[in-house]
Amino acid sequence: MNLTDRIIIVTGGARGIGRAVVSQLLDKGAIVAAIARTSESLEALQRELNSSRLHTFQADVSSEEDVLQLFQNVSSTCGHPHALVNNAGVGIFKPVEEMTADDWDQQLNVNTRGAFLCAREAFRMMKESGGQIVNVASNLGYEVREKASAYCASKWALVGFSKTLNQEGRAYDIRVSTVSPGLVQTDFAGVSASEKSSGLHPDTVARTIVQTLELPDDTGEMEIILNP
């Protein structure tokens, strides 16, 4: 898909992988709707990237009310989306006996429920003319790690959701793919990028996401695992 003038929504678009995706999509000539929970982060993003093709929207993707309003706002401001990158995510890593119900709910609500809500609304808008959804999962959507019970559960669920939604989308020319990175050099789960001695650069992950969006329309579902 040629990304010039394509309307693409990126959740978690103000920092880390999401910010890198937004920047690379703008370089490709796309019209980008970047989503984040705080207005401050979105204002900083707009200042840094300084593009008339960048539109920012504040929303909590785990809130159905916010997501419904978000897609109405994107549609009225930019038009119906051609693609959605579900990138928003949180991680809380603790032994299971120390994990609170709030810790569990936060990860499932953002990583899985949020992806579902956004994908559902994008799917509804794409049914007439097709489109793409890329869900950013994790290598922990395929394997497990100590102290990551809720995070693993959320990402395993996201991978299964992606596969099912892709099957449902075939009749409408909607392709649903997953990009699942391992450790990335971003601030995440209480660990700053400067504390990580190894890991993928966010630009590397973003490039893979953008390349997935650029694949020809006759390409089927992509399922990519990126390990450092």
Q: Quick one: tokens of 56?
A: 């920012």
Q: Cα–Cα distances in Å, from 19 out to 60, 112, 203?
A: 17, 20, 9
Among 151, 156, 161, 188, the one annotated catalytic:
151
Cα gap 171→148, rounded to integer Å: 36
For CA atoms 37, 40, 44, 47, give the dihedral sign: positive
Residue 172 annotated among the catalytic residues of the structure: no
Q: What is the 3-state secondary structure (H, E, C) of the chain?
A: CCCCCCEEEEECCCCHHHHHHHHHHHHCCCEEEEEECCHHHHHHHHHHHCCCCEEEEECCCCCHHHHHHHHHHHHHHCCCCCEEEECCCCCCCCCHHHCCHHHHHHHHHHHHHHHHHHHHHHHHHHCCCCEEEEEECCHHHCCCCCCCHHHHHHHHHHHHHHHHHHHHHHHHCEEEEEEEECCECCCECCECHHHCCCCECHHHHHHHHHHHHHCCCCCCCCEEEECC
Give the catalytic positions in this structure: 151
